[in-house]
Structure 1
């Protein structure tokens, strides 16, 4: 399938349309990742959570085949800050601006506000992936040059994309998250049986204390109502205000998410005496359950662990999912069965004066990250030695 040489830039994903975008994003090779689907990205834009006014100006890239059909796409944003990314380059920005440079704006390929690995160079299944990736990357680099921006960043790509991007000359960065992996468990108790006796006892105690006097409801699809979203949005705003100062997502986004992607949503809400007191939002992929947001209005010991980690594991086991990705950071997850897992990003810095020190730093950082992941698993893994 031959491709047209040009790359089109779209200021809204709606310029591309659901069918054409998802023909690329829904490629089975992409693993059913919900965060690159049209409905998720469009809900961010339609709600106004993602817009030039919030520092996320869409610049999506589109490649067409010889017949004029969409062959490949890449989500891309012109950023005026580094918030909501979870791959931290603030030190680079500070150093460059102290030296008289201008770090912002920059270009970023990612899913806004989502620290989850997923495909970034989305190619239709019947199209040559290598050729299409090459056109998308060259289009992004050309756009960076045309705009005169400091840099192009591709955050949380798949490992295969990351290695390919490195072969194309982009600087590579490696970080870590903590994921739970399903080792063929049939029940939650099978997972517990794989742990040390001390960890089994601790988890059972935490679950008892967290759930005392509470009801937990798992809501998905048609069971989701605006009343549920109202309750959860209150939790989200409280947590977001304390963690970030200004939460990234607005109330309309959650309504659009439930309306358009309800079957991909798993909302876990805890209730005491008829009142919702806490909630955890997850999205369902073909291979993984992705934990995204949590909040509460009542401080209950261990309830965060229960809703975000244990309930997620139990639900994933029941659906035969391969893993649970519970978001960024959090070494406390190790004791709950979530082990260190690498995550990736790739970076093009236009100015050689900044590029050289960044690349030196990244080479040193990768070695340190890999050593730390190995040490954390050896020292703190809760699993019994096999």
Structure 2
């Protein structure tokens, strides 16, 4: 059957220790929740494979993934101690606490450059997720961070990596892929996920020191990730929200390429919010002014708190706002917010709204080298404040970025309502290593059609954008 715009076709061999040998079937319609043609499988078998969410199986602690030689001109390539690295040893760590923060952060800083510091890649942020029991085995996020060291135990590169027993908290959706695997008697979980948990923020994922060996270490680490996937006998490895350059490089290593879409605001060297408004079409400018005016009419007072200005009471209140917004199905714990407040200092910006001195809403942002990252929002459940979400999450973030002279605000995924408020669509990336060849072909066909659809939507949104004609 030829693939149409909404389906992909491939053939798989249904040999599995759970179901025995089955005849070959064709995979179809991977784009929908009903990904494949239904097959008659005894209900008990489906229950065995699909059943309740399982915790990722614990593997051998800190397995070695091998030692690899480094090659380079002998006249250079000396370390600060005058010794040249000759080899790289790659291993897996069960906690980021096993890596000194200065070594992890040196890799992260070299990967991005200080001018583009990504706070989510720091040891402080990632260790906060583990210490607060957010990204741990019990929640389906078993840390399996990969580290590359030379023969003198100097850290040359690191990779944030997790063994996952589900697909929650990733923001690149593969639930239909998992469903397809289970319909055919294959196990999709656990899988390996290279990402920042609960954080749809683009950034480097293969964090390597900026030295003569960086290309070699990058290649060694990517190959090690694939080797680990096969060593654990997993279905797949996923690298979500990598940089565009990493996305292109990983295509050469057999990873499938996927794109998505987010909404970012661009600072065109504005001195204040009004200058930004003057770049917008008259109708959009008028609408934003009316929305902002409603905040003062409701006797709401907006504050931007940073670093030591954020007290324990603010985090306690914000956690309640966050739980309310997530219908009490929160991935992050109260401890997490207190820990990042203590560890990350001035990189944290909490925007709050007060009514007669009472905190009623808040929006959490992190400050990077050139970007303000909008992350979480929440408010009290008992009242409705028209336009407060727009004010706290979008307009206050724009004002803060202008004040801090940052180049952009990343407002995250979902919500084309952001376009009319100055946030335009940009491309996001992910890479997927699917072990089974037949499933890989089927998913690849689906991704080709999906990519065309994403590009078409982005073009339509940009063509109907809120800015005056001629702005870059």
Partners of 1:27 and 1:124 within 8 A in 2: yes
Picking from 292, 302, 305, the partner of 1:216 is: 302
* Matches of 2:123 and 2:421, distance apart in 1: 33
Report what 1:384 is aligned to. Answer: 468
- CA distance in 2: counterparts of 1:356 and 1:167, whole angstroms: 16
Q: Tell me by how many angstroms 1:336 deviates.
A: 0.3
SS at match of 2:89: coil
CA contact (8 A) 1:71 1:127 kept: no
Report if aligned partners of 2:259, 2:454 keep a CA contact under 8 Å in 1: yes
CA distance in 2, matches of 1:358, 1:88: 13
Tell me which residue corresponds to 2:38: none
1:73 deviates by 0.3
Q: 1:319-368: CA deviations, max 9, x gaps? A: 11010001111111000000010000000001112111101111111122
Partners of 2:110 and 2:209 within 8 A in 1 = yes
Within 5 Å, give how 1:69-218 maps onto structure 2: 69-212=154-297, 213-218=299-304
C-alpha separation in 1, matches of 2:178 and 2:185: 11
- Structure 1 distance, partners of 2:173, 2:386, is 31
2:239 matched to 1:239?
Answer: no
Give the 3-state SS of the residue equivalent to 2:326 in structure 1: helix
Q: 1:236, 1:96 → 2: CA distance?
A: 34
Q: Supply the distance in 1 between the matched residues of 2:427 and 2:274 (Cα, whole angstroms).
A: 27
* Contact residue 3 and residue 64 of structure 1 kept, 8 A: no
| Correspondence for 1:279 | 362
Whether 2:105 is the aligned partner of 1:22: answer yes
Give the C-alpha shift of residue 128 in structure 1: 2.7
Q: 2:134 aligns with which of 45, 49, 53?
A: 49
> What TM-score, normalized to structure 1?
0.97
1:366 & 1:303 partners in 2: Cα distance? 34
Superposition deviation, residue 127 in structure 1: 4.8
| Equivalent residues of 2:307, 2:341 under 8 A apart | yes
Paired position in structure 1 for 2:87: 4
Decide whether aligned partners of structure 1 residues 174 and 187 sit closer, same or farther in structure 2, where only a CA change above 3 A counts.
Answer: same
Q: Could you say what secondary structure the match of 1:321 adopts?
A: coil
Which residue of structure 2 lines up, in the alignment, with residue 290 of structure 1?
A: 373
- Larger-Rg structure: 2
2:314 maps to 1:228: yes
Identify the residue that residue 265 of structure 1 maps to in structure 2. Answer: 348
- What's the offset of the Cα at 1:26? 1.7
SS in 2 for 1:7: strand
CA distance in 2, matches of 1:191, 1:234: 33
Secondary structure of the residue that 2:369 maps to in structure 1? coil
Query: Using the alignment, how far apart are the partners of 1:283 and 1:299 within structure 2?
Result: 26
Equivalent residue pairs, number: 382
Q: Measured at CA, do residues 13 and 127 of structure 1 come closer, stay the same or move farther in structure 2, by a change above 3 Å? A: farther
> In 1, distance between residues paired with 2:112 and 2:351?
29
Looking at structure 1, the residues matched to 445 and 111 of structure 2 have their Cα atoms a distance apart, in angstroms, of 36
Conserved? CA contact 1:224–1:262, under 8 Å: no
Shift of 1:217: 1.3
In 1, the alpha carbon distance for the partners of 2:178 and 2:397 equals 37
CA distance, structure 1, for counterparts of residue 245 and residue 97 of structure 2: 28
Q: Does 1:355 align with 2:440?
A: yes
* SS of residue paired to 1:294: strand
Is 1:56–1:80's contact at 8 Å kept on the other side of the alignment?
Answer: yes
After TM superposition, give the deviation of residue 23 of structure 1 in Å: 1.0
1:124 positional shift: 1.2
Instruction: Give the deviation of 1:294 after TM superposition.
Output: 0.2
Say which of 354, 363, 366 aligns to 2:451: 366
**1-side partners of 2:162 and 2:90: how far apart?**
15
Q: Does 1:253 align with 2:253?
A: no
Contact 2:111 2:204 (8 Å CA) reproduced: no
| Counterpart selection for 2:418 from 327, 333, 336 | 333
C-alpha distance in structure 2 between counterparts of 1:363 and 1:130, whole Å: 29
TM superposition score normalised by structure 2: 0.79
CA–CA separation in structure 2 for the residues paired with 1:265 and 1:299: 27
- Stretches of 4+ moved more than 3 A in 1? none
